[in-house]
Copies of this chain bind each other. A is one copy, B any other.
Amino acid sequence: MRQDLFRGHLETLLLAVLEDGPRHGYAISQELAVRSGGVLSYPTGSLYPALRRLETAGLIQGDWAGDSGRQRRTYELTAAGRRTLAADKQDWQQFTTAVESVLRLA
């Protein structure tokens, strides 16, 4: 399906995956695909910049986990991130309600 429907929702989705606990980028990407039944898949060129934006915004905190030589940056939600996620979920409800009443699906 059209991938561009997800525009504007990536950061919310990332926060939601991290709600279950710390994860690194690649794992987040895989979990997005699994949880969505294979519908959601973001290219790395979208994923990693988005994680950096969230970190810069103080919504997640990243840490280089140095397990052997392999580089892995593990992220976890901050308090601000949890608040933003909660607000995003409310926005989502409003959003779908509005669209579905226009589409006559509600």
Which residues from chain A sit less than 8 Å from chain B, CB to CB? 1-2, 4-9, 12-13, 16-17, 19, 32, 35-37, 39-40, 89, 91-105
Do A91 and B2 touch (CB < 8 A)? yes
Known: A13-B99, A35-B101. A8 touches B1 (CB 8 A): no
CA distance A13 to B102 in the complex (A): 7
28 CB-based A-B contacts, threshold 8 Å: A2-B8, A2-B91, A4-B8, A5-B91, A5-B95, A6-B8, A6-B95, A6-B99, A7-B8, A9-B99, A12-B103, A13-B99, A13-B102, A16-B102, A16-B103, A16-B104, A17-B102, A32-B102, A35-B101, A35-B102, A37-B97, A39-B95, A39-B97, A39-B98, A89-B105, A92-B99, A92-B105, A93-B105
CA distance A103 to B9 in the complex (A): 11
